[in-house]
């Protein structure tokens, strides 16, 4: 939240400069909101469970997620999963993002309130901006065309997650109550953000808003003791040395040359 408030003015300026025809009253848009329905297998159990997971619009059982994409190409807010029977606007109302926007927390030092832009599936109000459902006149049509070109990057952000981690497209793994689907997907979002920090994204190039470095992005996470412990455990520079000291099992017995030598030495000692 602290990082979002510090960058509100910069993000809004980048979005305003990238689009031609954006009206002056819409210069307070700092990001783009959209939902995603991730397809899952039909859950076992009572029929009411399958009905709760069924998304009538998509025509398959799913988990619903909500993401807020900044002009840097990073998901600065991400929440889920919700039952697939909820549409994007219902997920938005149930999320903490709706409450934070309602309280006016997205404001800069001067007191100017900023808001995100979304597609027409949401209801336009004081907290969120959408296009015109029934555009009358060239001005409203230009508004819809301009903002649809800007908003498409949040959909590309969802696509980058699944393209980078293809396991989310492999249906035999998408078993509710068996696989840890939500943990996998949320971790994929975090790792995709790390990839954007390292290599950039289409959104960052379009808005000319470079993302932070990986060290700067992960710095706030160091205050979280649980994340710091997990991150320290799987650091790439010491992970293999730590594996040597742990008991071998089917999960950490990964074959490398050094580990192979270590195993050969153990076998010789046993002989």
* Tens-place pLDDT, residues 19-41: 655 665 566 888 899 989 999 98
Are 202 and 153 in contact by the 8 Å Cβ rule? The answer is yes
Q: What is the pLDDT of residue 71?
A: 92
Please tell me what DSSP assigns to residue 166. G
Are 32 and 150 in contact by the 8 Å Cβ rule? The answer is yes
Q: What is the pLDDT of residue 20?
A: 56
CA distance 258 to 73: 39
Supply the mean pLDDT for the chain.
Answer: 78
pLDDT tier for residue 260 given thresholds of 50, 70 and 90 = very low
Instruction: Note the pTM of the prediction, 2 decimals.
Output: 0.76
Q: What is the pLDDT of residue 96?
A: 83
Q: Determine which of 132-136, 208-212, 252-256 has the lowest per-residue pLDDT on average.
A: 252-256
pLDDT, tens only, 158-210: 999 999 898 888 888 888 878 888 888 998 999 999 999 999 888 889 888 89
Alpha carbon 145 to its chain centroid, in Å, reads 25
Enter the tokens of residue 42: 């039909």
Closest CA to 82 of 102, 104, 105, 98: 98
Q: What is the pLDDT of residue 124?
A: 67
pLDDT tier for residue 257 given thresholds of 50, 70 and 90 = very low
Domain range list for the chain: 2-219, 234-270
């Amino acid at each position: 939240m602290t990082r979002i408030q510090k960058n509100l003015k910069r993000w809004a300026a980048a979005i305003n400069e990238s689009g031609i025809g954006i009206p002056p009253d819409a210069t307070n848009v700092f990001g783009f909101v959209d939902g995603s329905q991730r397809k899952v297998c039909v859950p076992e159990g009572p029929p009411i469970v399958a009905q709760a997971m069924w998304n009538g619009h998509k025509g398959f059982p799913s988990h619903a997620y909500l993401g807020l994409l900044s002009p840097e190409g990073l998901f600065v807010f991400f929440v889920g999963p919700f039952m697939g029977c909820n549409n994007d606007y219902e997920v938005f109302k149930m999320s903490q993002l709706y409450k934070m926007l309602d309280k006016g927390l997205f404001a800069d030092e001067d007191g100017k309130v900023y808001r995100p832009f979304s597609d027409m599936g949401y209801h336009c109000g004081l907290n969120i901006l959408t296009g015109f459902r029934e555009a009358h006149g060239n001005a409203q049509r230009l508004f819809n065309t301009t903002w649809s070109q800007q908003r498409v990057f949040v959909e590309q952000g969802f696509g980058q997650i699944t393209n980078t981690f293809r396991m989310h497209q492999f249906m035999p793994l998408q078993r509710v109550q068996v696989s840890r689907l939500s943990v996998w997907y949320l971790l994929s979002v975090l790792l995709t953000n790390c990839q954007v920090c390292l290599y950039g994204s289409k959104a960052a190039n379009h808005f000319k808003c470079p993302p932070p470095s990986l060290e700067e992005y992960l710095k706030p996470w160091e205050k979280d003791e649980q994340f710091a412990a997990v991150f320290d455990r799987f650091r790439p520079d010491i992970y293999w040395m730590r594996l040597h000291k742990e008991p071998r099992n089917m999960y950490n017995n990964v074959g490398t040359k050094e580990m192979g030598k270590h195993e050969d030495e153990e076998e010789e000692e046993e002989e």
